[in-house]
Amino acid sequence: MSQQDFQLSGFGSAAVHAGHEKDPRNAHVTPIYATSTYLFDTAEQGMRRFSGAEEGYIYSRWGNPTFTEAEQKIAALETFGLKMEAKGILHASGMAAIATLMLGVLKPGDKILTHYSLYGGTEELIHKVLTGVGITPIIADLRNPQLAEDALKTDPAIRMVYLETPANPTLQCVDLEVLIGLAKQYGKLVACDNTFATPYLQQPFKFGADFIVHSTTKFLNGHGTAIGGALIGRDIELMKTAVTKTHRLLGGNANPFDAFLLINGMKTLEVRMDRHCSNAQQVAEFLEGHQAVGRVNYTGLPSHPDFALAQKQMRAAGGMLSFELKDGFNAGVAFMNKLQMCLRTVSLGTCDTLLCHPPSMTHYSVPLEQREQYGITDGLIRMNVGIENIQDILADLEQALA
Ligand SMILES: *Cc1c(COP(=O)(O)O)cnc(C)c1O
């Protein structure tokens, strides 16, 4: 059996090995190809490259060997165990990947059907940029699939259904199987932001999604060392034509150093996620039993409205949770100030435990009535549970809550 024919049977093995191409100089780890352009051996070769008759690199906005490895690894993980192929395109950020998706696939007059609680940047992109080019959103509470069916049935201009699950800050989920099934029944495209779950915990392609987007900044990189994004598509032809064209012309390409950090971060995805999930479960249970804490939003708790749904479509509940301090805004500020090991910051997906208090930070300027619609009450704390030893995380929380 040749090395190419060896089938990796475990996700963790794929995370380590998938997407790798043997280096021509036998470097073990794929090098950082810090080059903007690539040489042609002859004028004829240049001609063949530009005409598409020969595959190969031309210019790093269009492609780069370090990007290729990251792209192939993400695509391999999102299709792991599924009988399908997909093509990934690495981007400078999650937002760049989402912009390529929207502008590469939709045209003026098209509508997007989506739900509340999208990532803030995505929501703003839809409302402030896409509406300007004639692409309009329909926002509905898609936790109720009947609302999706009503919209799909009555509005033929809907071209894409855009989902994000689980979503900020209450970890609300939408049903991938049901919503993608409905969208397909009406002939629509479906895209899913899989940033919070990662392909280890959830594979939207399994339910028939056409596109997956990631902020690789988060769990895929895993160490908080680089901003990045990926767009992965099931229709290889569409990915190679309209989507690649849009990506190259918008110029939201990745850079080789960040791609290198991402490749190496992704190798440990499975072991990191297992630890994130088991730590988060224990933190959620601890918080739920604490007298200073009201609601705990974690889909691994039976008290979460989407507990059963998360069990159906995810391997485990993930590393993110949020909770409400009973004593409100000032209690939130005091708690944040008392943290010793856990870190005060936004973002997520890192080995370190990160906490933020949205009412005094990201949502400080949003009026209370408005942010409460998103579940951002005065005492809400959002937590990325890291991979430290659980007793240290619990001890820090306990002393900060005291
Ligand atoms: C962070 C994030 C994004 C945006 O990604 P950037 O890399 O910051 O551009 C999109 N979706 C989700 C769910 C995110 O958490």
The CATH number of domain 3-31+63-266, selected from 3.30.200.20, 3.30.460.20, 3.40.190.10, 3.40.640.10: 3.40.640.10
The closest residue, in CA terms, to atom 2 on ligand 1 is: 215
Contacts of 133 (CB under 8 A, 6+ apart): 103, 108
Show the tokens assigned to 12.
């963790």
CA of 96 to the centre of ligand 1 (A): 10
Index of the ligand 1 atom closest to the CA of residue 168: 13
CA of 322 to the centre of ligand 1 (A): 18
Domain 269-401 class in CATH = alpha beta
**What is the sign, positive or negative, of the torsion defined by CA atoms of 310, 368, 289, 284?**
positive
* Domain limits, CATH 3.40.640.10, in the chain: 3-31+63-266
Q: Supply angle C-alpha 375, 379, 380, rounded to 5.
A: 45
**What is the sign, positive or negative, of the torsion defined by CA atoms of 378, 126, 194, 248?**
negative
Residue 113 CA to residue 336 CA, distance in Å, equals 37
- Residue 2 burial class via C-beta count within 10 angstroms: exposed 0-12, middle 13-18, buried 19 and up: exposed
Q: How many residues does the chain have?
A: 402
Q: DSSP string covering 362-382, please?
A: TTTTS-HHHHHHTT--TTEEE
Query: CB under 8 Å, gap of 24 or more: what pairs does 55-63 form?
Result: 60/33, 60/35, 60/36, 60/253, 60/256, 61/248, 61/251, 61/253, 62/248, 62/253
pLDDT tens profile 350-398: 999 999 999 999 888 888 888 888 889 999 999 999 999 999 999 999 9
pLDDT tens profile 52-97: 899 999 999 999 999 999 999 999 999 999 999 999 999 999 999 9
Does residue 198 line the site of ligand 1, with CB under 6 A? no
At residue 3, the pLDDT reads: 61
At residue 4, the pLDDT reads: 63
pTM for the predicted model, two decimal places: 0.97
* Domain limits, CATH 3.90.1150.10, in the chain: 269-401
Does residue 294 line the site of ligand 1, with CB under 6 A? no
Does residue 318 line the site of ligand 1, with CB under 6 A? no
CA of 7 to the centre of ligand 1 (A): 32
Give, for ligand 1, the residue of 115, 116, 118, 119 to mutate: max count of ligand atoms closer than 8 Å to Cβ.
119
Does residue 90 line the site of ligand 1, with CB under 6 A? no
DSSP 8-state secondary structure symbol assigned to residue 59: B
Give, for ligand 1, the residue of 201, 215, 258, 374 to mutate: max count of ligand atoms closer than 8 Å to Cβ.
215
User: How confident is the chain (402 residues) per 10-residue block, as mean pLDDT?
Assistant: 75 97 94 98 96 95 98 98 97 98 98 95 96 97 96 97 95 98 98 98 98 98 98 98 97 98 98 98 98 97 98 98 97 97 96 96 87 89 98 98 96
Does residue 195 line the site of ligand 1, with CB under 6 A? yes
At residue 373, the pLDDT reads: 81
At residue 2, the pLDDT reads: 54
CA of 292 to the centre of ligand 1 (A): 31
